[in-house]
Amino acid sequence: MSFSATIFFFIVIGISAIIHEYSHGWMADRLGDPTARLAGRLTLNPLAHIDLVGTILLPIIMLAVSGGRFLFAYAKPVPVNPLNIKDKRWGLASVSLAGPASNLIIALVFGLILRFLPIAANPSLINFLGNLSIIVYANLLLFVFNLVPIPPLDGSKVLFAILPDQLHNLKVFLQAYGVIFLFIFIFFLFRFIMPVIQFLFFIITGFSL
């Protein structure tokens, strides 16, 4: 990936992470929890969502460590009070799914533009195609990665909603050591979700990564 493409990817994944967090707050507000709205987080203003570590430092460090091969970012999590959500079992899972769903929608919109863009008739669109590919890839990355069922990722909230009450101790264990498992996943197991991202990219765009 060229330097300019890397910078564009950095910007796209930051903006997409902000939309991701906004979607959490939007869904929580619809389900009875106004916490994000009252905290001024129900906005797309980047200043309300930028996290110094997750949105700026982490991507820079990961780019440096991976030699430009891998970049990930997250925005400041929106505050959610589960006690305000009416559906105690599935409400929090719905709030959690709203973030990845927003990234999938973005990937679909730009991916379909990429799929039906008349590139053959206009070769000058090649650079534009590259930018669209980055947008689709970045959002599929956020979509798939956040659905991994490891706390504090969104997939863990869905897992907790599905697990029976008899496995409460497992929930407590995952919540206590989730961050450790997450770092193990990022540095040693991340490659296992790449085929999923590549498959979705091909299904949506008709192109291979």
* Domain limits, the chain: 3-205
pLDDT in tens, 61-77: 777 776 655 666 778 88
Q: Give me the torsion for CA of 111, 104, 153, 147, rounded to 10°.
A: -90
**pLDDT tens digits for 4-58?**
888 898 889 889 999 999 999 999 999 999 999 999 999 988 888 888 887 888 7
21 catalytic per annotation: yes
Residue 149 burial (CB count, 10 A)? 17
- Which entry of 19, 21, 91, 174 is annotated as an active-site residue? 21
